Amino acid sequence: MKKLVLLTVVVALFATISATGQSKLVSSKSHIKFFSTTPAENIEANNTTSVSTINTATGEIVFSVPMQGFEFEKALMQKHFNGEDFLNTQEFPKAKLTGKIINLDKVNFSADGTYDAHVEGELTIKGVTKPVHEMGTITVKGGKVDASSKFNITLADYGVTFAKGKPSTNVAKTVEVTLQAEYAAQ
Amino acid sequence: MKKRKIIKTGIIVAVAGFVIAGAVGFYMFNMPHRDVQSAKADYSLNSSEIVAEYLTDADAANSKYLAADGDSKVLEVAGTVSKISEDFNGQKVVLLKGDGDKAGVSATFTPETNANVEKLEIGQSITVKGVIRSGAAYDSDLELYENVILEKSDVVTK
């Protein structure tokens, strides 16, 4: 009898663990691109160091982005980007997106397909948090989950402003962010 | 005569100034990225040590290791290979993680150094050198421990 109780407890425990484990997808393979275009020049920066999770049960989605991981073609641009006047990455080393897929009923993580996901949440850059509402795409293929999105960020919203000098003419006020992440069960 | 000399000197100085300013400007604009692998390592430590340092006091560790202009400290980190993967740019990523550690050190290689990962095996003890991009932390939104991230990495052979 004792054994049976123990067995039930173990089975129940295992079931909970595997259930919660399965609902959480983790990505350490991601690509985030910044793109700024002005008549003066196009500027691009790429980052492959982010970590992301999706909770398939609740629709919660999180991206944690190490800001010093953005690579620019020109070293000077990268120095400017990291500097105190721009993103101040020493003080704010990470940017974060926390959101929720609000049309979770339209996304089936267990069937192959391409789904439109409406994500509502908050984006924190340089310590400033703003609400966001963006569209993304979730692709499920052979058990593999991929998320992607493309949206615009107005730099001034996050206290990134360039009043004068070259950056004020060469960096767009609004930059395009392209995001892609490949997930696996935790 | 004297006045003329002053003007002449003035012009020469001005022209020289322009040339130097132009050259510096041109150099700055085209300044190459720092070559992490030929730079001297600022710190040598093992993966468990740096993870512990970050988990104890992230702010102190950030001000110690991260530079304001993004040219952060170059580290040599010793540890055990626990995972080998590849990023979206086709760069190899090697995770060094000690037994029982909550987080590890994730080192991203480059197209030039990728080949050195081919010889590595899980469980092997190695030392990698790279520039630190961010530290280890527990993220309550991710509900995960994040690794220390190094980029521009290579295997150090001693």
A15 domain residue, yes or no: no
Residues of A in contact with B86 (CB under 8 A): 29
Q: Within the 79-98 window of chain B, which residues sit less than 8 Å (CB to CB) from chain A?
A: 85-89, 91, 93
pLDDT at A6: 58
What mean pLDDT is predicted for residues A62-88? 94
CA B136, CA A1: separation in Å to the nearest integer? Answer: 47
pLDDT at B59: 95
Residues in contact with A30: Cβ distance below 8 Å, sequence separation at least 6, in sequence order: A48, A49, A50, A51, A52, A63, A179, A180, A181, A182, B88
What mean pLDDT is predicted for residues B130-142? 96
Q: Within the 122-151 window of chain A, which residues sit less than 8 Å (CB to CB) from chain B?
A: none
Q: How far is B131 from chain A (nearest CA, A)?
A: 10
A3 domain residue, yes or no: no
B59 interfaces chain A, CB cutoff of 8 Å: no
Q: Which residue has the higher pLDDT, A92 or A18?
A: A92
Q: How far is B158 from chain A (nearest CA, A)?
A: 28
A178 interfaces chain B, CB cutoff of 8 Å: no
Could you tell me where the DSSP H helices lie in chain A? Answer: 2-23, 75-82, 166-170
The answer to whether A48 contacts B106, with C-beta atoms less than 8 Å apart, is: no
Total domains in the fold of chain A:
1
Size of interface A-B (CB pairs under 8 A): 96
pLDDT at B112 over 70: yes
| pTM greater than the 0.90 cutoff | no
B44 interfaces chain A, CB cutoff of 8 Å: no
Tokens of B98: 């000690």
A118 domain residue, yes or no: yes
CA B87, CA B114: separation in Å to the nearest integer? Answer: 11
A96 interfaces chain B, CB cutoff of 8 Å: yes
Rg, Å, chain A Cα set: 20
CA A100, CA A136: separation in Å to the nearest integer? Answer: 11
A105 domain residue, yes or no: yes
Lowest average pLDDT, out of A2-6, A140-144, B46-50, goes to A2-6
Average pLDDT, chain B: 94
Find out whether B157 and B76 touch, Cβ atoms under 8 Å. Answer: no
A168 domain residue, yes or no: yes
Range(s) of the domain holding residue A109: 24-185
pLDDT at A186: 76
Query: What would the pLDDT profile of B26-68 be if each residue is shown by its tens digit?
Result: 777 778 889 999 999 999 999 999 999 999 999 999 999 999 9
CA distances from A120 to A45, A152, A154, A166 (A): 25, 14, 17, 35
CA A70, CA A28: separation in Å to the nearest integer? Answer: 16
A11 domain residue, yes or no: no
Please, what is the end-to-end C-alpha distance for chain B in angstroms? Answer: 69
Query: What would the pLDDT profile of A33-74 be if each residue is shown by its tens digit?
Result: 999 999 989 999 999 999 999 999 999 999 999 999 999 999
The answer to whether B68 contacts A84, with C-beta atoms less than 8 Å apart, is: yes
A149 domain residue, yes or no: yes
How high is the ipTM of this complex? 0.83
Q: At what angle do helices B47-56 and B58-65 cross, to 10 degrees?
A: 120
Query: What would the pLDDT profile of B63-97 be if each residue is shown by its tens digit?
Result: 999 999 999 999 999 999 999 999 999 999 999 99
B146 interfaces chain A, CB cutoff of 8 Å: yes
pLDDT at A11 over 70: no
Percent of all residues in chain B with a pLDDT value above 70, rounded to a whole number: 99
A5 domain residue, yes or no: no
Assign residue A70 the CATH number of its domain: 2.40.128.110
